[in-house]
Amino acid sequence: MKTYLWIEDRIGKASYKFWTAFMHETCPQVIVESKMNNRELVKAVKGLTDKENRYIIALDNSFDNVQIYMEQKILKEAADKRNNVFLLNFICFEYTLLEFDKLIDWIYAPEDEFIEKRAGAIAAREKLVQIISSNDMNYKAIQEILDYDSNLHNHNIEQLSAKLLFDLTRNTGFEVSKGNLGECWRQNCCEWADRQEDDICGLDQTKLSLKEKMKSIYWGTSLHREFQNIGLEVLV
């Protein structure tokens, strides 16, 4: 029996790069497949006839995006009809990295000037993770988040998470945008090809392997609970 992870993002996107690296180190038996976009992912699950293999579905659960909410509803109905389809309950790839408990410690060295320059983004991230982890989804009422994003009323949770993660990681080896996942998320320390002498992060002294990084992300985010909930065997 094979196990597949179906994701909505295209090959080459940051999310695809993350999932392939993460699963290779934690669940190498799982085959990661891109379904190109969220609609095609939902369509693939609805049309699934294979009853022998297992399918893990990673569709963004952006709770304040009406379109995504409706697609999640359709997806759940399709999954409930099949014994071999399991849904991951996560907001989005960017939020998963935002909630990582070692994020700030990794991307900034202790005396990094970015800690002061990006204090507003750091505070917004801390408050966002606090409120979401408490199951209170009213993040748009939090002052630190309002101070950080002056256009918050036009953004949903996925858009805010992507903006916040990029602002925290830009100009570092951990930079994350829609199309880019920094090499420091995908390689051993310090194998960043373009690393400059002054590119010092919070891992400068510890020098983690990629497997150690992925293990930390597994335990430092909600992924460990989600994987345990669906009975996925993890090599950590």
Q: In the prediction, which pLDDT does 198 show? A: 76
Q: pLDDT tens digit string along 53-77?
A: 999 999 999 999 999 989 999 999 9
Find out whether the peptide bond into 189 is cis, omega within 30 degrees of 0. Answer: no
Q: Are the C-beta atoms of 210 and 186 separated by less than 8 Å?
A: yes
- Domain at 3-91+216-229: CATH code: 3.40.50
Q: ∠ CA(199), CA(205), CA(209), 5° rounding?
A: 90
Q: In the prediction, which pLDDT does 203 show? A: 96
- pLDDT band at residue 168 under the 50/70/90 scheme: very high
Phi, psi dihedral angles at 3 (to 5 degrees)? -120, 130
Q: Give the residue extent of every domain in the chain.
A: 3-91+216-229, 94-208
Q: pLDDT tens digit string along 129-153?
A: 999 999 999 999 999 999 999 999 9
Rounded Cα distance between 164 and 98, Å, is: 8
- pLDDT band at residue 107 under the 50/70/90 scheme: very high
Residue 49 CB burial class (10 angstroms; 0-12, 13-18, ≥19): exposed
